[in-house]
Amino acid sequence: MAPQDRLLFLLLLPGSCSGCGPLSLPLLAGLVAADAVMSLLIVGVVFACMRPRNRQGQEDNRVYINMPGRR
């Protein structure tokens, strides 16, 4: 079993980790900050990809019934 496989196996095991100490405050703060930055990055990318874009040069000349603002 490769070292990466052992680590993945240990992460998937339920219960306590033998020999694991508590996380230090700077490490915990760094993990929380990294999680917040990654979450904001994902939200920003999704927002940028889903934002409607205006097609310049193409005018919408269709008549919409039951839409008073569009003539």
Give the H/E segment covering residue 47. helix 25-50
Q: Interior CA angle at 54 toward 48 and 58, to 5°?
A: 155
Contacts of 64 (CB under 8 A, 6+ apart): 70
Per-residue pLDDT of the chain (71 residues; tens, 9 = 90+): 556 676 666 666 665 556 667 878 999 899 999 999 999 999 999 999 988 776 665 566 666 677 666 55
Cβ atoms of 71 and 63 closer than 8 Å: yes
pTM, whole model, 2 decimals?
A: 0.48
Rg (CA), the chain: 26
